[in-house]
């Protein structure tokens, strides 16, 4: 069960949900499963609070499947247009499928007690910080510290469903033409003033309904992520490294933007196949390798790169609305280790950059500890490195680099929380 495995910390929603959806033949069933999984995890802090009030004692670790069913049932009662009797019976029946007959009466009792005492329970939840704001307490504390004037907006957008934004493949057409093709298919969209190839849909649709999607005419990519090629000052013939490249969205965009000699690297062999699939659909080519970006001696041929994209592993705190399981999976203790890893990657890749070359450091985090703190520390220890300015109308200037915040420019622009820093190696 997808939600139960996430509560156990076994894997992520992006890894668990696609195979679960593939096992369902009916499109309506797939839509329901996706809504239940995303919605339950998006509202997990409040649902977990309510469950704690309704359970006489916490469930054992081995019964996280029952905990997940209770959260799913509460989500249906609170947020979905599912008849109450159907939500109760379907949730309780699922416990039988897990071979836990004893839990049927427990689930029924918990959900019925919520129905009877919903007003009082919801009022109590309004006094709990995590339940009220829909984020874990440790993250709320960090956001207040890092973004005292903006944290409420970050939190509000973290609790919303994200817009679907497309990247038009400018090798195969122009934005205006694709905008017209969408309109002809009764799909309304808006242009983005900051991401030249972006179109944000008024409502999300299945990608199979997008004209020319299978032929590579467009890709799904957040508008903030689409800022990358414009910040890299690419020129034809340059040798480019896309480190930590999977699943390949930015890889494809770099190749759409310029005729470069690109090495796409990722440590995960299975995710590397996703890069290949994405490039095949776009009819583009890169040298794709499995390798650890922090250990160049295992994959680098010694020939310097003119440009490096380091899309560093991070907390994902800027894309929670797209990945609500982050609210469950990420812990405060993860941030120092992530920052250490990010610094290690920067230090390891720097020798592979040619003099006069540039490295673009990117995260989808809004936490300073993973962003400016990392790049400032790097610059302090590398005399041959300098920060290049990012002059833009979007986002916020940082001590080093620039930051976008989730939804800040309006959902019709589809911007998530991304950090960018341009680092140049002195010639």
**How is the chain split into domains, by residue range?**
2-134, 165-220, 225-425
Alpha-carbon distance of 372 to 380, in angstroms, equals 12
Pairwise CA distance, residues 336 & 209, whole Å:
42
Q: Which of 265, 288, 348, 364 is catalytic?
A: 364
CB-CB contact of 236 with 215 (8 Å): no
Task: Note the pLDDT tens digit of each residue in 35-67.
Answer: 999 999 999 999 999 999 999 898 988 899 999
364 is catalytic: yes
Nearest one of 373, 294, 311 to 336, comparing CA atoms: 373
Q: Render pLDDT for 214-228 as a digit per residue (tens, 0 to 9).
A: 999 999 999 999 999
For residue 85, name the pLDDT band (cuts at 50, 70, 90): confident
The domain 165-220 is classified under which CATH number: 3.30.70.1170, 3.40.50.740, 2.30.290.10, 3.40.50.20? 3.30.70.1170
Token output for 213: 């999607």
Structure confidence at residue 410 (pLDDT): 58
Phi and psi angles of residue 242, each rounded to the nearest 5 degrees, phi first: -105, 95
Task: Return the percentage of the chain with pLDDT > 70, whole number.
Answer: 99
* pLDDT for residue 411: 53
DSSP annotation of 209 reads: G
Question: Span 225-425: which CATH code?
Answer: 3.40.50.150
Query: What's the whole-number mean pLDDT along residues 344-366?
Result: 98
Checking 176-182 for CB contacts under 8 A at 24+ apart, the result is 178/211, 178/212, 178/217, 178/218, 181/211, 181/212, 182/210, 182/211
In SS3 terms, 313-375 reads as: CCCCCCCCCCCCCHHHHCCCCHHHHHHHHHHHHHHHHHHHEEEEEEEEEEECCCCHHHCHHHH
- Is the whole-model pTM more than 0.85? yes
How many other C-beta atoms lie within 10 A of the C-beta of residue 424?
17
Classify domain 2-134 at the CATH topology level: N-utilizing Substance Protein B Homolog; Chain A (1.10.940)
Query: What is the pairing mode between strands 165-168 and 218-220?
Result: antiparallel
Q: Which of 87-96, 228-237, 316-325 has the lowest mean pLDDT?
A: 87-96
Tens digit of each residue's pLDDT (9 = 90 or more) over 134-148: 999 999 999 999 999
CA 192, 197, 198, 199 torsion: positive or negative? positive
pLDDT-above-90 percentage for the chain: 86
**Is 412 a residue whose pLDDT tops 80?**
no
Q: Is the pLDDT of residue 423 over 70?
A: yes
pLDDT at 198 over 90: yes
Distance of CA 189 to the CA centre of its chain: 22
Scanning the structure block, which residue is given the tokens 């008024």?
A: 202
* Structure token pair of residue 157: 């957008």
Interaxial angle between packed helices 64-79 and 102-125, expressed in degrees from 0 to 180 and rounded to the nearest 10: 50
Predicted confidence band of residue 1 (pLDDT cuts 50, 70, 90): confident
For residue 86, count CB atoms less than 10 angstroms from its CB and return exposed for 0-12, middle for 13-18, buried for 19 or more: exposed
pLDDT at residue 331, as a whole number: 97
pLDDT at 169 over 70: yes
Residue range 101-130: average pLDDT? Answer: 94
- For residue 303, pLDDT beyond 90: yes
């Amino acid at each position: 069960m997808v939600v139960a495995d996430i509560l156990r910390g076994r894997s992520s929603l992006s890894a668990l949900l696609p195979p679960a959806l593939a096992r369902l033949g009916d499109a309506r069933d797939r839509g329901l499963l996706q809504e239940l999984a995303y919605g339950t995890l998006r509202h997990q802090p409040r649902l977990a609070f309510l469950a704690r009030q309704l359970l006489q004692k916490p469930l054992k670790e081995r019964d996280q499947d029952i905990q997940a069913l209770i959260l799913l049932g509460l989500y249906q009662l609170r947020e979905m247009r599912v008849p109450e009797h159907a939500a109760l019976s379907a949730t309780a029946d699922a416990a039988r499928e897990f071979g836990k007959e004893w839990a049927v009466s427990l689930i029924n009792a918990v959900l019925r007690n919520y129905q009877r005492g919903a007003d009082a329970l919801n009022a109590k939840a309004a006094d709990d910080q995590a339940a009220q704001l829909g984020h874990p307490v440790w993250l709320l504390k960090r956001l207040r510290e890092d973004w005292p004037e903006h944290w409420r907006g970050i939190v509000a957008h973290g609790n919303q469903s994200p817009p679907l934004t497309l990247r038009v493949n400018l090798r195969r057409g122009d934005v205006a033409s694709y905008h017209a093709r969408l309109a002809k298919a009764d799909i309304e969209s808006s242009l983005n003033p900051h991401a030249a190839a972006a179109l944000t849909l008024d409502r999300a649709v299945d990608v199979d309904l997008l004209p020319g999607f299978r032929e590579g005419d467009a890709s799904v990519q957040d508008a903030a992520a689409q800022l990358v090629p414009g910040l890299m000052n690419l020129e034809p013939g340059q040798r480019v490294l896309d480190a930590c490249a999977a699943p390949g969205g930015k890889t494809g965009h770099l190749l759409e933007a310029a005729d470069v000699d690109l090495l796409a690297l990722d440590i995960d062999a299975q995710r590397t196949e996703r890069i290949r699939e994405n490039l095949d659909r776009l009819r583009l080519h890169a040298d794709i390798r499995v390798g650890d970006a922090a250990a160049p001696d295992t994959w680098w041929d010694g020939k310097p790169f003119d440009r490096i994209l380091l899309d560093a592993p991070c907390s994902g705190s800027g894309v929670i609305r797209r990945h609500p399981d982050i609210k469950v999976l990420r812990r405060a203790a993860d941030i120092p280790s992530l920052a250490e890893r990010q610094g290690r990657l920067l230090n390891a890749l720097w020798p592979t950059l040619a003099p006069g070359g540039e490295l673009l450091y990117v995260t989808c985090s809004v936490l300073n500890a993973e962003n400016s703190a990392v790049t400032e520390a790097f610059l302090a220890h590398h005399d041959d490195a300098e920060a290049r300015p990012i002059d833009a109308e979007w986002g916020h200037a940082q001590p080093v680099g620039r930051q976008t915040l989730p939804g800040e420019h309006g959902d019709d622009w589809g911007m998530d929380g991304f950090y960018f820093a341009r680092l140049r190696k002195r010639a």
